[in-house]
Structure 1
Amino acid sequence: MTPMYIIVGVLIVLLLLGFFTVKQQSAVIIERFGKFNSIRHSGLQIKIPLVDRKAGVVNLRIQQLDVLIETKTKDNVFVKLKVSIQFKVIQDRVEDAFYKLEYPHDQITSYVFDVVRAEVPKLILDDVFERKDNIAVAVKRELNEAMTTYGYDIINTLITDIDPDIQVKNAMNRINAADREKVAAEYEAEASRIRIVAKAKAEAESKRLQGQGIADQRREIAQGLVESVDVLNKVGINSQEASALIVVTQHYDTLQSVGADSRSNLILLPNAPSAASDMLTNMVASFAASSKIKEMSASEVISKRSDDVSSRNYNDSHQGYDSALEDE
């Protein structure tokens, strides 16, 4: 009975060895006597013990490979590019992916190097930054054509980093800083110009309004003086006396307005209490002198006219006398 138990035990062990599980998003390659037999997907699977074996496991999930490449641009600038490739095994091509390509990462890296070093030297450094998506599309197109044969699908390619030489980066930073300073200077100059123009316009408008205000003020003062003189004339005060009275009134009004301001440093000369009466006396004397000068001027004119008439009469009489002597 012991050999029988041994045989049964061995069979049970072999049977248990025939069961195996496959993880999600994975595929197992089964070989029978060293030859491909089948592909087993996720779940509980069974194989013939001692006949079938698991040759390998193929990952069906999306994978990413980062490739760092150093190359030269058209303007002779060395630059490092980091290219990220996202790929996966085509589910219907698991056999090709397992048997046709032993090191897929190395194969993909080689194609990426080849494409990038063919595309970047056609561009200057600025265009590399601007057209990095075009480079990524070219890499994806080339990889898809090559890797589909081996059962791989290229999902996406990304240029994730562009790193020029450190001296070139410093030069680019200085250029950008200079450009920004230039733009800032232009904006500051334009703002200064706008402020100057606005200030000039404001000053011109202020002067215009100030002149208009002075003109209106003088017009109203003149109108008020005319009305004041007319009123004073109606009560028997002549024009000279009215003018003197108005001047005295304005003098005292000025003194009152100056005294009302405690911070004023204006001094009126003369500012004695008798200043107004002296001013009035001087004005009256001036008006009287002016009237006398006018009267004297009129008398001189009349006298001169009389002398001219006498002179003409004298000349006429002598001419008549001379004519009478000639007749005799």
Structure 2
Amino acid sequence: MENIGIYLFLFLAVIILLLSFFTVKQQTAAIVERFGKFNTIRNAGLHLKIPVIDKISGRINLKIQQLDVIIETKTKENVFVKMKVSVQFKVLQEKVYEAFYKLEYPHDQITSYVFDVVRAEVPKLKLDDVFERKDDIAIAVKRELNEAMTTYGYDIINTLITDIDPDIQVKNAMNRINAADREKSAAEYEAEASRIRIVAKARAEAESKRLQGQGIADQRREIARGLVESVDVLNKVGINSQEASALIVVTQHYDTLQSIGSDTNSNLILLPNSPQAGSEMLNNMVASFTASNQVGEAMKRGNEERLQQQNAKTQQLPPEIAPEDNYDDAIDDENENKQ
């Protein structure tokens, strides 16, 4: 019997010893109550308590936690959107007592404040402004939560608006608007590119025509210079200008026929193509130049005769009439006498 009593005592002692020790994990705080009243807060490590008298009433997580809140609200133009607000928070080390005893359901409390702030801010904004100013909404949520939750021992680390989801019909309309704007911009860019191509092509053609005309002018100038030099050379050997011109025309005539015949793919026909045609053309040119010179000389002589007659009339005027002042009156009187 004595041995049984000893064993029983030892067994109870071991149980009491085991119940006296407890451990607290890292980033956790344990609340110890004595006879139902708060006694102390134990942090991470191995701790001792009085069995039966002391009791661990709860443990508080000191890690940063995240709560995702999904809210449905409407914008200023009565467009309903679903917003996902992520709240990152933790319990302050020095305010574990307030976090455990003052607030029963912290997640519900945080959710209520998030709903209140979001539904107060979003109806003031249009849908486009909600996307652009989501950071302002997140800052307003964080400010409101900090003011409310600090009293209960909670610190709001950050608030993020991670999703804004309008109604499906609104999204489709927005996509159509964006597509139309992009098509408009594409059409404007294509029109501008076409205009630039047309202007560049016109400028290139104008420059080409200018250079082509300049080349033709240079070519004709060189041909004329060559002809003059050829005539001078022929004159030096005793050939007069008319014979030299005829020789040059015949030479060019045969050179042209040779160049036409050397091209096998050419279908050009030169009419007339006899040497007599070249001589006739030369005679016609000479006759034209001669007639032109004669007409010019006749016009020159006529102008000189009229000028001499006017000078003679000016000399026959009375001396009291100044030629420079009354020349027109004298001419009119002379015309009347003739009539």
Give the structure-1-normalised TM-score: 0.84
* Residue aligning to 1:96: 98
> SS in structure 2 opposite 1:24?
coil
Q: Judge which range, 93-102 or 280-289, deviates more.
A: 280-289
1:173-219, Cα deviation, whole Å (9 max, x unpaired): 11111111111111111111111111111111111111111111111
**Which of these residues, 113, 117, 138, is aligned with residue 111 of structure 1?**
113
Q: Residues 256-275 of structure 1: matches in 2 within 5 Å? A: 256-271=258-273, 275=274
Q: Is the 8 A contact 2:253 2:278 kept in 1?
A: no
Instruction: For structure 2, list consecutive stretches of 5 or more residues without a partner in the other structure.
Output: 293-339
Q: Is the 8 A contact 1:112 1:143 kept in 2?
A: yes
Q: Is the 8 A contact 1:240 1:287 kept in 2?
A: no
> SS in structure 2 opposite 1:237?
coil
Q: Is the 8 A contact 2:249 2:279 kept in 1?
A: no
Q: In structure 2, how many angstroms separate the alpha carbons of the residues matched to 1:290 and 1:214?
A: 24
> SS in structure 1 opposite 2:109?
helix
Superposed displacement of residue 42, structure 1: 0.9
* Residue aligning to 2:63: 61
> SS in structure 2 opposite 1:231?
helix
Q: In structure 2, how many angstroms separate the alpha carbons of the residues matched to 1:194 and 1:286?
A: 52
**Which of these residues, 231, 234, 241, is aligned with residue 233 of structure 2?**
231
Q: Residues 181-220 of structure 1: matches in 2 within 5 Å? A: 181-220=183-222
Superposed displacement of residue 116, structure 1: 0.3
> SS in structure 1 opposite 2:265?
coil
Q: In structure 1, how many angstroms separate the alpha carbons of the residues matched to 2:110 and 2:16?
A: 41
Seen in structure 2, the aligned counterparts of structure 1 residues 231 and 60 have a Cα distance that, compared at 3 Å, is same
* Residue aligning to 2:44: 42
Q: How many aligned residue pairs are there?
A: 291
1:107-164, Cα deviation, whole Å (9 max, x unpaired): 1000000000000011111111111000000000000000011110000000101111
**Which of these residues, 78, 81, 89, is aligned with residue 79 of structure 1?**
81
Specify the code of the residue in structure 2 equivalent to 1:215: A
Q: Residues 136-175 of structure 1: matches in 2 within 5 Å? A: 136-175=138-177
Q: In structure 2, how many angstroms separate the alpha carbons of the residues matched to 1:133 and 1:157?
A: 9
Q: Is the 8 A contact 2:62 2:92 kept in 1?
A: yes
Specify the code of the residue in structure 2 equivalent to 1:146: A
1:201-242, Cα deviation, whole Å (9 max, x unpaired): 111111111111111111111111111111112222222221
Specify the code of the residue in structure 1 equivalent to 2:280: N
Seen in structure 2, the aligned counterparts of structure 1 residues 290 and 187 have a Cα distance that, compared at 3 Å, is closer
Seen in structure 2, the aligned counterparts of structure 1 residues 291 and 182 have a Cα distance that, compared at 3 Å, is closer
Seen in structure 2, the aligned counterparts of structure 1 residues 123 and 291 have a Cα distance that, compared at 3 Å, is closer
Superposed displacement of residue 290, structure 1: 8.3
Q: In structure 2, how many angstroms separate the alpha carbons of the residues matched to 1:59 and 1:290?
A: 119
Q: In structure 2, how many angstroms separate the alpha carbons of the residues matched to 1:244 and 1:287?
A: 11
Superposed displacement of residue 270, structure 1: 3.7
Q: Percent identity, please.
A: 78
Q: Is the 8 A contact 2:260 2:266 kept in 1?
A: yes
Q: Is the 8 A contact 2:249 2:282 kept in 1?
A: no
* Residue aligning to 2:277: 279
Q: Give the root-mean-square deviation of aligned CA atoms.
A: 2.2
Instruction: For structure 1, list consecutive stretches of 5 or more residues without a partner in the other structure.
Output: 295-328
Specify the code of the residue in structure 1 equivalent to 2:237: V
Seen in structure 2, the aligned counterparts of structure 1 residues 235 and 136 have a Cα distance that, compared at 3 Å, is same
Q: In structure 1, how many angstroms separate the alpha carbons of the residues matched to 2:247 and 2:130?
A: 94
Q: In structure 1, how many angstroms separate the alpha carbons of the residues matched to 2:132 and 2:291?
A: 98
Q: In structure 2, how many angstroms separate the alpha carbons of the residues matched to 1:200 and 1:290?
A: 41
Specify the code of the residue in structure 2 equivalent to 1:191: A
Seen in structure 2, the aligned counterparts of structure 1 residues 16 and 258 have a Cα distance that, compared at 3 Å, is same
Give the structure-2-normalised TM-score: 0.81
> SS in structure 1 opposite 2:59?
strand
Q: Is the 8 A contact 2:79 2:166 kept in 1?
A: yes
Q: Is the 8 A contact 1:244 1:283 kept in 2?
A: no
Specify the code of the residue in structure 2 equivalent to 1:127: D
Q: In structure 2, how many angstroms separate the alpha carbons of the residues matched to 1:229 and 1:95?
A: 124
